[in-house]
Structure formats: C-alpha cells, structure tokens
C-alpha cells in the first residue's frame, strides 16, 4: 500500500501518523500516572483543521507539520479523502467554540490499523508486539499491583486510578463484559455514639487477583518495567 501512494499522500499519512503516536504516548503517560485517558476511539481522533479564518483559529499540529514540508495548501481535503478511500484513515467532523467566532466545524482524522501499518512500513518501523489477551494493560496492571502492595489494610478508594475499579473489581460489567474480579471493595467502619458509621471504602486483592499475580508476575515485569510497585513476593 505504501508503494501505491504518491509523495504528497505519503507526507499526509506520515504527518497524521506522527500525531497519532504522540497521542498514544500521552495516553500511556496518563495511565502510568494512574489516570484514565479515555477510550482510544476518542483520543485517536486527531484535529486536522478548524473551519475558521486566521487569526481566530490557529493551525493544528498536523497542519504545522505539513507546512514545514511545504505540503499544506487548498488540496488538503482531496488528499485526505484519497487516503480514506484506501482505508488508511477515517474523516469525521465535530464542532468547537472559537473565541470571537462561536461554534465552527473541525475536521478530525483517525488512522486505521491499516494506516498505522502502512506508515510503519514506509518508515521501516517494525510493528509493536501485541499484548497477550490474558495480560492486563499497563494501566490496569499498575492499579492491581498497588492494591496488592497495600496488603490487608487495602488501598483507599479515592486513590484508585479512574475507571480501573470497573475492570478489575467484582460484579461490574464495563462495556458489557464481566469485570476480572481481581480486587474487591470493603468498608472501614467506626463507632460513633450509639451507631456504627462507614469511615471510608478501600480495595484489597481477591483470591483470583492473587492467583493472577503469582502466575504472571514475571511476564508483567518484562512487559511493563516502568511500573515500579512493591508487590510482595508471595501473595
């Protein structure tokens, strides 16, 4: 597919690819900080252009890349649609509020898997190995490891990263699929007057979570060396 693109189409595909990889790095950094970057279907939609006159709307990052290559001109839309017809990217629009102008249309581009593969082939980059289905993502593994490291005292609920509890916890159904059941929530209670009140909620590891960590600890340490959490050697 790369060989079938002309030089202009290649420039546009690579400009979108580089912004796509930057978005992926930002999402990975958020997960490393135990934050939820949202679904890839959202953050992979990249702003290409804002339909407002300069100086009210600035060039997007992709447009700036193309300007540096001398490729940004009135034919940008036709080039994007040529890539879309080949199944290398998708084009959508949304609306954003531009100061002193109001709501205006914004063009978004999203690389397909074929588009990323084509760009990698053009750059000579080997595809990243796919994560085995039985392993958690780096973000979820980091949260599971923190719960395990907290021991029987548990990890305070407000420290859990974003929506991780819905994927790791018990009796949730994120995206219609059963959650893993690796952690469970319990109440820390305190006596006050004649009653007992919930002081806070905490998360602790379940038996299923212990089995998972013991079985795949080495695989996680190899796959995600940046996750620095002190998980006990034996759970």
pLDDT at 233: 66
pLDDT at 234: 64
pLDDT at 4: 96
**How many whole angstroms separate alpha carbon 152 and alpha carbon 2?**
55
Residues of the chain with CATH 1.10.10: 7-123
**How many whole angstroms separate alpha carbon 69 and alpha carbon 143?**
42
Contact 112, 88 (CB under 8 A): yes
pLDDT at 97: 87
**How many whole angstroms separate alpha carbon 19 and alpha carbon 66?**
12
**Against a cut of 0.95, is the pTM above it?**
no
Contact 63, 12 (CB under 8 A): no
pLDDT at 160: 78
Beta bridge partners of 93: 107
3-state secondary structure of 170: coil
How many CB atoms lie under 10 A from the CB of residue 196?
A: 11
Q: Can the peptide bond before residue 118 be classed as cis, meaning omega within 30 degrees of 0?
A: no
Cα radius of gyration rounded to whole Å, the chain: 23
Beta bridge partners of 109: 46, 91
Residue in 57, 49, 94, 55 with CA at minimum distance from that of residue 74: 49
- Given this structure, which CATH class describes domain 7-123? mainly alpha
What region, left, alpha or beta, does residue 34 occupy, with left being phi > 0 and alpha being psi -120 to 50 degrees? left
Block means of pLDDT (10 residues each) for the chain, 235 residues, are 96 97 90 78 94 79 93 92 97 89 91 96 86 88 91 86 85 86 92 80 94 92 81 67
pLDDT at 24: 93
**How many whole angstroms separate alpha carbon 135 and alpha carbon 63?**
38
> Helices (H), strands (E): how many in the chain?
8, 6
Identify the sign of the CA torsion 50, 54, 56, 60: positive
CB half-sphere exposure, 52, CA atoms < 13 A: 19
Beta bridge partners of 202: 156, 186
């Amino acid at each position: 597919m790369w060989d079938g693109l002309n030089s202009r189409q290649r420039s546009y595909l690579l400009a979108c690819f580089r912004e796509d990889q930057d978005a992926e790095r930002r999402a990975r950094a958020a997960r490393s900080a135990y934050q939820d970057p949202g679904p890839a279907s959202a953050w992979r939609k990249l702003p290409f252009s804002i339909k407002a006159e300069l100086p009210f709307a600035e060039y997007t990052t992709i447009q700036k890349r193309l300007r540096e290559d001398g490729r940004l001109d009135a034919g940008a839309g036709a080039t994007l649609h040529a890539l879309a017809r080949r199944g290398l990217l998708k084009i959508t629009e949304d609306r954003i509020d531009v100061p002193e102008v109001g709501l205006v249309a914004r063009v978004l581009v999203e690389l397909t898997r074929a588009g990323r593969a084509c760009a990698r082939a053009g750059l000579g980059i080997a595809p990243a190995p796919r994560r085995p289905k039985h392993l958690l993502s780096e973000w979820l593994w980091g949260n599971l490891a923190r719960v395990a490291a907290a021991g029987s005292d548990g990890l305070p609920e407000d420290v859990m990263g974003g929506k991780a509890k819905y994927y790791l916890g018990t009796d949730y159904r994120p995206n219609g699929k059963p959650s893993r059941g690796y952690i469970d929530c319990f109440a820390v209670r305190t006596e006050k007057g004649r009653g007992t009140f919930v002081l806070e909620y905490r998360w602790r590891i379940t038996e299923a979570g212990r089995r998972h960590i013991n079985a795949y600890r080495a695989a996680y340490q190899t796959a995600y060396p940046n996750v620095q959490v002190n998980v006990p050697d034996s759970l």
